[in-house]
Amino acid sequence: MKKLLFIGIAVLTIVSCQQQKIGFVDNVELINNYQEKIDTEAKIKTKIEGFQKRTDSLRQSFQLEINDAEIQARKMSQAGIQKLSKDLQDKEQILSQRVQFEKNQIAQESQSQNDSLIQKVKTFVKDYGKKNGYSYILGSNDAGSVMYGEEASDLTQTILEALNAEYEKE
């Protein structure tokens, strides 16, 4: 009976002493080196450059209109000058609204894509942890949620490679 009790206590001790598998990732490195994020940023940058070219073109065209209006104003009555000035102000306001609208669209698209990428990375890390028997995968960042971790527990590169491989399949 004593042997059975001793064996029971020994088994209980061994089971309770099992260590949990814990790893961590550098959030900033993981997100910034994720190929889908790099590709998304390149697409957004192209949109921004196109937007800037269109905006510059519209502003140059409008500046030409202002220059023409200044020449015309020299030959106009005061009432004509006021009407011309009002028309130019209206055009400038429409131009500004158009530029702001497009700028907001690009910003919203960028934010939406970033949110989607972050969610995708979180889901991937969660699935990776489950598949590989991790009890916890912590995220480190500049705020210091993981102040120290053994290099062997740093999963950043491993998960990044798996994440990029998954993205290439898509």
Residue-wise pLDDT tens digits, 26-68:
999 999 999 999 999 999 999 999 999 999 999 999 999 999 9
Q: Which two tokens stand for residue 88?
A: 């130019």
Q: Which of 11-25, 104-118, 148-162 has the lowest mean pLDDT?
A: 11-25
Q: Which helix (H) or strand (E) holds 142?
A: none
Cβ atoms 121, 163 nearer than 8 A: yes
Please, what is the end-to-end C-alpha distance for the chain in angstroms? 61
